[in-house]
Amino acid sequence: MDERLATETIVDGRYRILERIGSGGMADVYRAEDLQLGRDVALKILYRRFSQDGEFVERFRREASSAAGLQHPHVVSVYDRGEWDGTYYIAMEHLEGRSLKQVVLAEGPLAPARAVDLVIQILRAAKFAHKRGIIHRDLKPHNVIVDGEDRAKVTDFGIALAGVSDMTQTGSIMGTAQYLSPEQAQGHPVTGQSDLYAIGVILFELLTGRIPFDGDSAVTIALKQVNEPPALPSSFNGTVTPDLDAIVFRALEKDPARRFADADQFIAALEEVAAHLADGTAGSTGVTSVAGAAVAYGLPPAESGLSQHTQVSGQIPTVSAYDGYAYPATAPPELDPDREDAQRWWIALLAGLLVAGLVIGALLLSGGDKVTVPQVVGVDEASAVTRLRADGFDTDITTKNDPNAPKGQVIGQIPSGNSEADKGSTVTLTVSDGPGTATVPRVVGDGRLVATKKLRDAGFLVREEEDFSADVGENRVISVEPGQGEALEKGSTVTIVVSSGAERVDVPSVLRQSREDAQATLEDAGFEVSVREMESEEDVGTVLSQDPKAGTARPKGSRVTITVAKASEAVDVPNVVGQSSAEATAALSGAGFTVLPRDQEVDSPDEDGVVLAQNPASGKLKRGERVTITVGKFSPELDPDPTATPEPTPTATP
């Protein structure tokens, strides 16, 4: 079934497929656009047929976890991982370039200086991983990307081992046969030296354009890895110097203890060769043979990386071993059979043949009847053991956490179901111990995508709910259930409540209402109220306008401003002339003025208490200003008695 994704497919709402750029044994790789960050990524998507296989899913998850913790210039960065449409994906750094395998296939043997430079870069990546307890276990040119400037980056940590592996059982072989160390080929524990062996194979391939061991099947190749010496790289590329031959041979030692102690030591040896190649002094140390190179580097014969090799016909040239030194592969040195060193040589040869026979016997020629191993993956442990024992097999049980399988379910078996195995042999079952537990991380206040990634990385499924919040910004987490810091079984669902912003409501109309009524209406609707005043002929306190307008949707808690009427500061001065003093004072005070009365004597009692004049007589004044009124005042004692006889006017005496 073709599982390829069409271009323009959107993966997990975030990644838009642009093109398919490669495929492997467990996944397709696409160039995709990250729609959130606007950058190209390499999107690795597990084949759906493997998505229900706990072993494959664990291997895929381990790749993301291992590489995500390795931020290094020579390791491909992993950005994200997730579950989508029934399968799993990893989003990683997209590199413009070719795999190192493509480089070798296109260009053949590389110049020694270039090969050394590329391998040093790979070793630096391995060194960084090893110091963090991570062993790659599948280093090969296919997993190294080289850009246009020959910068190398290591990818595909799919079977990387972090600490004690829970994926490897005794006797299992994981990795690619042509690059497997002898201990991996035999199912023994791996160490950093296993990666160094694989890098030695890569160096051999870069220098020669071919791999040191090949065959018709993985078993054939594995046997060669365990038993046969490689040819000299210089036999295929005349520019390879003896000291570089010696480095390759040491990296390819069968015994891990005889290889380089760590990546630093391997790098140091290559850097010395690189220095000689750069200044044209290669071979100036007087090295003319592999054995001489070992001596030149100060390596004791037993540590030179050469003690493993015995004469093998058909390799031109190769080396043979005698007391730990290397000799041209013509014939073994003539020895007195009574000499102790000759006896050691024959003992070593017989021991080697015995080991080879044991390996071949164990892998290919095991005695006993061959029977079909039942397929028990997916059934419970008790049923699986009963079935296997009924068919004549012993069982060995290992457990591991698996978020996709209930506790007690078989999630892996070695040998695999429907394969042939000796009756009476042991079938190793991997049984789910449940998903394990993890602590709910702190995500309150995080963006929804960041929070989702944190929770998924912790092993949880995520469910989202939305709610309004005036305090938490839109698309940020308001709360999480179960709470932060709680221990929870992996694979459980954690619910995050994400803010959709403050609740929005329609602004009610308060026009023509009194100030008090308008404020109450708006506050009941969830708004805060601001008041402005404006002079108006309307009744004081009447709402003249509002902002926002009625019917506009606004977040609850936001502010609405109302404008209310206030009295004008300048008003008409009423004309009170002819009114009584009391009436005039009331009229002027009511209009907001201060009244200043002033008396004026009058002759007629009819004008007594009457306003005779005012100042100002008309126009406008600000409220509170003074208006002067002149009020008539009649005094009776000044009025002559109309009944009295007027006194005669005195006349002057002449």
Q: What gap in Å lies between CA 652 and CA 650, rounded to an integer? A: 7
Q: Using CA atoms, how far apart are residues 276 and 270, in angstroms rounded to an integer?
A: 10
d(C-alpha 330, C-alpha 327), whole Å: 8
| Average pLDDT of span 396-415 | 83
- At residue 350 the predicted structure's pLDDT band, cuts being 50, 70 and 90, is very low
Quote the CA–CA distance of 47 and 60 in Å, as a whole number: 11
pLDDT at 480: 94
Residue 97, class by beta-carbon neighbours within 10 Å (0-12 exposed, 13-18 middle, 19+ buried)?
middle
Q: Which amino acid is at 252?
A: L
pLDDT of residue 633: 93
* pLDDT value at 262 more than 90: yes
The arithmetic mean of pLDDT across residues 633-651, rounded, is 62
SS3 content of the chain, % helix, strand, coil (to 5): 30, 25, 45
- Residue 159: band (very low, low, confident or very high) from pLDDT cuts 50, 70, 90: very low
List, for residues 329-339, the tens digit of each pLDDT value.
333 333 344 44
pLDDT at 233: 95
Percentage of residues in the chain with pLDDT exceeding 90? 39
Side chain identity at residue 652, one-letter code: A
- The SS3 assignment for 443 reads coil
Bridge partners of 580? 610
Mean pLDDT of the region 195-200? 96
Which residue is it, tokens 């998507």?
A: 45
Q: Predicted confidence band at 279 (pLDDT cuts at 50, 70, 90)?
A: confident
Terminal alpha carbon distance of the chain:
161
> Can you tell me whether residue 126 is helix, strand or coil?
helix
pLDDT band (50, 70, 90) for residue 135? confident
**Cα distance between residue 460 and residue 458, in whole Å:** 6
Q: What is the pLDDT of residues 224-233, one digit of tens each?
A: 888 889 999 9
Give residue 564's pLDDT: 94
- Predicted model pTM: 0.46
Report residue 328 as tokens.
């041209």
Which CA distances in Å does 116 have to 104, 141, 274, 288, 304? Answer: 14, 14, 7, 20, 19
How many angstroms separate the CA atoms of 331 and 311, rounded?
A: 8
pLDDT in tens, 357-389: 444 444 444 445 788 999 999 899 988 998 998
Q: Which residue has the higher pLDDT, 156 or 160?
A: 156
pLDDT at 407: 84
In angstroms, the CA 548 to CA 544 distance is 13
Burial of 316 (0-12, 13-18, 19+ CB in 10 A): exposed
Distance CA 212, CA 582 (A): 127
Strand partners, 493: 461
**pLDDT band at residue 522, thresholds of 50, 70 and 90?**
very high
Whole-number Å distance between alpha carbons of 167 and 58: 8
Which pLDDT value is given to residue 528?
92
Task: Select, from the ranges 54-63, 105-114, 163-172, 198-207, the one with the highest average predicted confidence (pLDDT).
Answer: 198-207
**Of 74-83, 246-255, 280-289, 389-398, which one has max mean pLDDT?**
246-255
Find the helix packing angle between 263-279 and 192-208, rounded to 10°: 20
Residues annotated as catalytic (active site), given as ranges:
138
Which CB contacts under 8 angstroms, 24+ apart, belong to 599-603? 599/630, 599/631, 599/632, 599/633, 600/630, 600/631, 600/632, 600/633, 601/632, 601/633, 601/634, 601/635, 601/638, 602/632, 602/633, 602/634, 603/634, 603/638, 603/639
pLDDT at 169 over 60: no
Query: Regarding predicted confidence, which is higher, 619 or 259?
Result: 259
Residue 63 pLDDT exceeds 70: no
DSSP string, 462-526: EEEEEE--SSS-TTBEEEEESPTT-EEETT-EEEEEEE--S-EEEPPP-TTSBHHHHHHHHHHTT
- More confident of the two residues 476 and 62: 476
pLDDT of residue 644: 53
Residue 79 pLDDT: 84
